[in-house]
Amino acid sequence: MAINPDFVGKTFSPSEPYEVSRVKLAEFADAIGDPNPVYRDRAAAQEAGFADVIAPPTFPIVISMASSSRALAEPGLNLNYAMVVHGEQRFEYSRPLRAGDVVTAQVTISDIRDVGRNSMMTTTTQISTVEGEHVCTAYSTLVERGGAS
Amino acid sequence: MSDQVTYDEVEVGTELAAVSYPATRLSLVKYCGASGDFNVIHWNERIAKSVGLPDVIAHGMFTMAQAGRFVTDWAGPKATVVEYGVRFSSPVVVPDDDTGATISVSGQVEEKLDGNRVALALTARAADTKVLTRARAVVRLP
């Protein structure tokens, strides 16, 4: 069964606030194998002009995924997660995320379509601080292999 | 870390030499934990094969992170990434051995934009296959 196109345009309520911590940023940088000190050493980050350690460019996926998993689990959406691969990903940043930021993520399902034998879903996630400052917009396209109707 | 590159010294067309990054089963397990993405196709060979994949595959976001590192290492600590996007054209298959897979990333200065911004076109390959296409980053340089 294909992903249910009735969900296009659905915007979910913002996630619970997520606090960006130095420990998490260092753990993520370790996991991607990036030794850059601006991700783990406050003095190095400040020398580069940032208020605190910053996040690697792909870190916002941790926040957007946690939030979009709620969308993926939506009853009736019909997404078979074992058959899902990541099709496309894009980020637009107003500034780097940094330790101490408290942000929320708001997910909108922006597109669902069949392409060949596959079914594709695109989500747009706005990540903003609880004070209302936009930090990043994440666009994710997931492909359910063999999911076309 | 890399030296700081400045907007004025960047020239359109400059090729950025390829850098290789390893992806082992351990990398994927660590990435599962750090990212919260525990999709079984990234750590369970039995299920990966049962859903038609050749073996366990890397998270697309792990590959994207390697190309992101290529960008930030080139751009230097005072640069900020303004935009970064990729299409995942082929999976990075990670065998269960001590070497794993190798992701090779290269790039080219594609365009100089206003506001000290520079656009880079990126290429990422694993096992001679393009694993990212339409990969592009825009950085703001000092």
DSSP-assigned states of every residue in A4-44: -GGGTT-BPPPPPPEE--HHHHHHHHHHTT---GGGT-HHH
Superfamily of domain A5-20+59-144: Hotdog Thioesterase (3.10.129.10)
**pLDDT for A145:** 85
Q: How far apart are CA A132 and CA A134, in angstroms?
A: 6
A88/B85 touch (CB, cutoff 8 Å), yes or no: yes
**Cβ(A45)–Cβ(A38) below 8 Å:** yes
For B73, nearest residue in chain A (alpha carbons): A36
Question: Which of A91, A98, A120, A122 to mutate against chain B (most B CBs within 10 Å)?
Answer: A91
Q: Whats the size of chain A, residue-wise?
A: 149
Q: Which class in CATH covers the domain with range B7-140?
A: alpha beta
- Of A117, A124, A122, nearest to A149 by C-alpha is A117
Tell me the average pLDDT across A33-46.
Answer: 97
Q: How far apart are CA B82 and CA A136, in angstroms?
A: 9
Q: How far apart are CA B71 and CA B40, in angstroms?
A: 29
- DSSP code, position A54: B
For A67, nearest residue in chain B (alpha carbons): B36
B36/A62 touch (CB, cutoff 8 Å), yes or no: yes
* Mean pLDDT of the residues in chain B: 96
- Residue A81 in this model has a pLDDT that exceeds 80: no
- Residue B1 in this model has a pLDDT that exceeds 60: no
User: Tokens 């290529």 appear where?
Assistant: B70
A85/B88 touch (CB, cutoff 8 Å), yes or no: yes
User: Which ranges of B19-107 would DSSP assign to H, the alpha helix?
Assistant: 25-35, 45-50, 60-75
Task: Using alpha carbons, list the distances in angstroms from residue B118 to A39, B34, B99.
Answer: 22, 30, 35
The pTM of this model reads 0.95
- Residue A86 in this model has a pLDDT that exceeds 80: yes
